[in-house]
Structure 1
Amino acid sequence: MTASKRSREYHAPRRVAQAAATRAAIETAAGRLFARHGYAATTVAAIAEEAGVTPKSVYAVADKPGLLLLALERAEPGGGDLVDLLLRLYPLLRAFEEAAAAEPAVREQWRGHERRRRAELKRLVRDRAEAGQLRPGLPVGRATDMLWALLTWHTVALLVDERGWSRAKVRERLEQLIGTVLTGG
């Protein structure tokens, strides 16, 4: 083959940008619908409609369990502490736990999420213990387990969705709860 007959490398920046925008629209739509309707009630067809694409385009990104995981990845950044994360993501975390019960592919991801959440809480408790802000006689492990069991999406959902608490009030009360568990006061 001569040099003039070699194929040129395909370079289409607009196509790449369009594909990235489509993927983002699909992930965002999936996140909105999983958060609003839960895992079981959200269909790939509904995600496609919400994103303004075909179901085939959605499946080109991921299957339903994969879409949930992508939506979580997209939603998690944003900084803030554990309470901020719970307040922002509790509807999506509810769908995540629901999916873990139904989808073996998601189950291990959920377990990993819970291990990371507990590890973050353990760091918080250790920091407080090192600063002398842990109740005497309360082991780090027990304090961690107590916070891990109490600071969940379930707690936030009950207070916000069922009791109508504002996010500011939930934040204040959860911070009080953390203080009460760790210091006894």
Structure 2
Amino acid sequence: MTRASYNSPRRQQAAAATREAIIEAALELFACQGYARTTVAQIAEAARVAANTVYTSVGGKPHLLAAITESGTGDPDVAETLTAVARTSDPAEVIRLTAAGTRQVNERRAKAVAVLLDSAQADPAAAEMLQVTVRYYRETLGTLAGRLEDLGAVQSPDLNRAADVFWYLFGWTSWRTLITDLGWSWDAAEQWLTQRCIDALLRQRTP
């Protein structure tokens, strides 16, 4: 075994740790002082690396933002929610699971979401990333809403409306309005949004 091959795993771990530190520093600075006002030099200083290391490890500011965004679209809670919803045969449970899953992701990713929304106003590349992320989010909610059709709780002509209701209630805007603007707790917001969705989509089934 050569010295280079022996050290390779350690080097890979060090490189991954450096990349993670850079992304975390970028997220904190973007959130605190805004995407437009943050420089790569500031990110490097916060991560305790050279500016050139930022570029070689991740890239410039658009690449850093992309890394922050990608960690959200690959969130394991999304896959877990889709799996749980596919297994249940209770329409109300579909809604409860969707509320819980989107709450978990939004709660953990609140800072990253704020950064993405802020940066989209200042950078065309960021605006494009926002569009891609919104499309992914809406498609995922559309899949979850589609389970209501599978269970006969929503008829095919109403499926698009159900997907719209899911986006309206469980998308970024409602969570940010209730938590950030109005100061609700995450538990209270989850319970309220769950009930509103049940009222909107399932109560109409009762004679």
The whole-number CA distance in structure 2 between the counterparts of 1:95 and 1:171 is: 23
| Equivalent residue in structure 2 for 1:89, among 87, 102, 109 | 109
CA shift for structure 1 position 23 = 0.9
Deviations 1:55-87 (A, max 9, x none): 222122211111011122235524152232222
| Equivalent residue in structure 1 for 2:135, among 115, 123, 134 | 115
The whole-number CA distance in structure 1 between the counterparts of 2:189 and 2:14 is: 40
The whole-number CA distance in structure 2 between the counterparts of 1:181 and 1:36 is: 38
In the comparison of the two structures, how many residue pairs are matched?
177
The amino acid across from 1:18 in the alignment is A
Partner of 1:67: 64
Distance change (3 Å), C-alpha of 1:35 and 1:175: farther
Normalising by structure 2, report the TM-score: 0.72
Structure with a larger share of its residues in helix: 2
CA shift for structure 1 position 141 = 0.7
The whole-number CA distance in structure 1 between the counterparts of 2:39 and 2:196 is: 38
The yes-or-no answer on 1:23 pairing with 2:43 is: no
Structure 1 vs Structure 2: percent identity of aligned residues? 33
Distance change (3 Å), C-alpha of 1:181 and 1:91: farther
Kept after mapping to 2: 8 A contact 1:99/1:107 = yes
Normalising by structure 1, report the TM-score: 0.79
Distance change (3 Å), C-alpha of 1:93 and 1:31: same
The yes-or-no answer on 1:165 pairing with 2:162 is: no
Q: Runs of 5+ in structure 2 lacking a partner?
A: 82-100
The whole-number CA distance in structure 2 between the counterparts of 1:32 and 1:42 is: 10
Highest CA radius of gyration, 1 or 2?
1
